[in-house]
């Protein structure tokens, strides 16, 4: 620990990095009853903290290594840090990035003179390719997190926080991908203020550090979600795991909706659009604040980056209200008869309707997909559902139903009469030219496609809801074909939203 404190205090970062402010979040503080501060690493020259560790590693290379050149693998933020550092030091830098990397990050690397090599659909594929190139070409590989000098560079964030906030700090919340930032901050803060909690926060679909700490050893996740691409890591670093296991007080997880809500919180307080990974720590802060009403000291979240593709704002805005528990989505069954629609709307009273999908269908029942905006959904939702059920309506809460939120809400109203043997699958694949065609080619023409919904969400992965007519006797072969594609998928044939709105 003392060794790391010395490394952090000696770190060379300010040749390129900024001492970023610690801004109060006035609106959020009032809402949750806590003194909340945001460490603004989004204000770095590359809009991310990664510049600190990258430069501290590269500046300490030998002259021979600098002349030979450097290489790294990254989905974006580390890549920009390496490119800018190399530009500053006059070093040739090769950056291997997944094909799925958002354009904004690729162009930023090229702006700083980095040589971009696009390879693979995932970070792991880019990482292995970069290691092979480093060996063949005699380049120095600059690891994004599992390196002592990189960790020390990231630890300077902790130095600044303690200088900027001499008053008591209850907890500092840090986003975790591979763990470099969390390890660096924890090593410094725990040495000087052991009473301050350091709490890591990971996406629920990429929680490699939490899984490693629970298991007592590093684990490799089968797959990771891509929404928070800046922390989409399958395995924590060896050195970062050692430090985090020893120094972190806890690791919390966050879902997509909660990250979208946190992006909105940051925008409302400081007028900046954080990337999902950047807002991750604020999700943990809010969760901790509500679960621990008796606190002493401020709560600090690290806004680790703001490299957000503008197109992704569609998805963020759509999901923020649900993530903040200000909107609920309900599937309500009402009588299919004249006047029924009007009576149901009257029951909703003065609640703001955010979405209402309905279409006439044969039979005695109609199914309505409705969204309601509420001041406090956690409190009001049970009351509304109870009121609707008391009036004889069948109600299903689909606020947390991923298929309903991604697809069904846009497809309400269609049923194929007389259709048998239908399977419904929710699939993901890397968003790249030809990916959709590749998916269809992989599925083949042996089975009839009965439903297909695809919507571009401005993310680096595409999402499809597909219906296939597959006889029961042929399903084993069908699922083997799906497995061979290598794309993650979920069988949604028993999904309530699909049953109510699409199935005959």
Nearest of 201, 206, 235 to residue 218 by alpha carbon: 235
C-alpha R_g of the chain: 25
What ranges in 337-434 are assigned the alpha helix state H? 340-348, 377-390, 402-406
Nearest of 18, 461, 17, 41 to residue 266 by alpha carbon: 41
CA distance 366 to 360: 7
Question: 15-42 burial, b for 16+ CB within 10 Å, e for fewer?
Answer: ebbeebebbebeebbeebebbbbbbbbb
Phi, then psi, of 424 in degrees rounded to 5:
-120, 125
What ranges in 216-370 are assigned the alpha helix state H? 238-247, 256-270, 276-291, 313-323, 340-348
Pair 258, 321: CB distance under 8 Å: no
CA distance 278 to 304: 4
Q: Give kind and range of the element (H or E) at residue 23.
A: strand 22-24
| Active-site residue, from 35, 48, 74, 304 | 304
Question: Among this protein's residues, is 50 annotated catalytic?
Answer: yes
Greatest alpha-carbon pair distance for the chain in Å reads: 83
| Active-site residue, from 35, 39, 48, 50 | 50
Question: Among this protein's residues, is 287 annotated catalytic?
Answer: no
Count how many Cα atoms sit within 13 Å of the Cα of residue 393 in the half-sphere of its side chain.
26
Catalytic residue annotation:
50, 304
């Amino acid at each position: 620990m003392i060794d790391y404190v010395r490394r952090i205090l000696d770190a060379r970062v300010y040749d390129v990095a900024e001492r970023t402010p610690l801004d109060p979040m006035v609106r959020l503080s009032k809402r949750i009853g806590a003194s909340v501060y945001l460490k603004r690493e989004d204000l770095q020259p590359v809009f991310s903290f990664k510049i600190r560790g990258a430069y501290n590693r590269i500046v300490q290379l030998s002259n021979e290594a600098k002349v030979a050149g450097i290489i790294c693998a990254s989905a974006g933020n580390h890549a920009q840090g390496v490119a800018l550092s190399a530009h500053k030091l006059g070093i040739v830098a090769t950056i291997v990035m997944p094909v799925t990397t958002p354009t904004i990050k690729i162009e930023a690397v090229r702006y700083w003179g980095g040589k971009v090599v696009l390879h693979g659909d995932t970070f792991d594929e880019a990482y292995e390719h970069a290691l092979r190139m480093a060996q063949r070409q005699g380049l120095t590989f600059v690891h994004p997190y599992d390196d002592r000098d990189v960790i020390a560079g990231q630890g300077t964030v902790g130095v600044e926080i303690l200088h900027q906030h001499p008053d008591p700090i209850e907890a500092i919340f840090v986003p975790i991908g591979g763990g470099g930032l969390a390890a660096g901050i924890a090593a410094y803060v725990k040495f000087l203020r052991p009473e301050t909690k350091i709490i890591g926060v990971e996406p629920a679909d990429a929680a490699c550090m939490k899984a490693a700490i629970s298991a007592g050893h590093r684990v490799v996740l089968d797959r990771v979600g891509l929404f928070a691409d800046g922390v989409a890591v399958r395995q924590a670093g060896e050195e970062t795991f050692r430090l985090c296991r020893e120094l972190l007080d806890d690791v919390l997880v966050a879902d997509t909706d909660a990250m979208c809500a946190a992006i909105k919180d940051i925008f409302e307080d400081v007028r900046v659009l954080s990337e999902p990974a950047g807002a991750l720590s604020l999700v943990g802060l809010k969760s901790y604040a509500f679960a621990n009403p008796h606190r002493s000291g401020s709560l600090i979240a690290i806004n680790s980056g703001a490299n957000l593709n503008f197109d992704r704002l569609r998805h963020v805005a759509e999901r923020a209200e649900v993530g903040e528990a200000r909107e609920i989505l309900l599937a309500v069954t009402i009588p299919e008869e004249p006047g029924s629609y009007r009576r149901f709307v009257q029951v909703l009273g003065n609640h703001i309707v955010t979405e209402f999908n309905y279409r006439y269908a044969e039979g005695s029942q109609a199914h309505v997909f409705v969204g309601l905006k509420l001041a406090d959904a956690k409190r009001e939702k049970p009351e509304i559902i109870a009121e609707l059920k008391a009036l004889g309506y069948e109600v299903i809460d689909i606020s947390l139903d991923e298929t309903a939120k991604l697809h069904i809400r846009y497809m309400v109203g269609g049923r194929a009469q007389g259709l048998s043997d239908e399977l419904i699958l929710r699939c993901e694949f890397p968003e790249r030219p030809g990916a959709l065609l590749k998916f269809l080619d992989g599925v083949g023409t042996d089975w009839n496609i009965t439903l297909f919904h695809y919507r571009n969400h401005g993310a680096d992965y595409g999402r499809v809801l597909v219906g296939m007519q597959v006889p029961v006797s042929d399903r084993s072969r069908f699922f083997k074909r799906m497995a061979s594609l290598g794309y993650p998928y979920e069988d949604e044939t028993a999904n309530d939203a699909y049953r109510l709105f699409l199935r005959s």
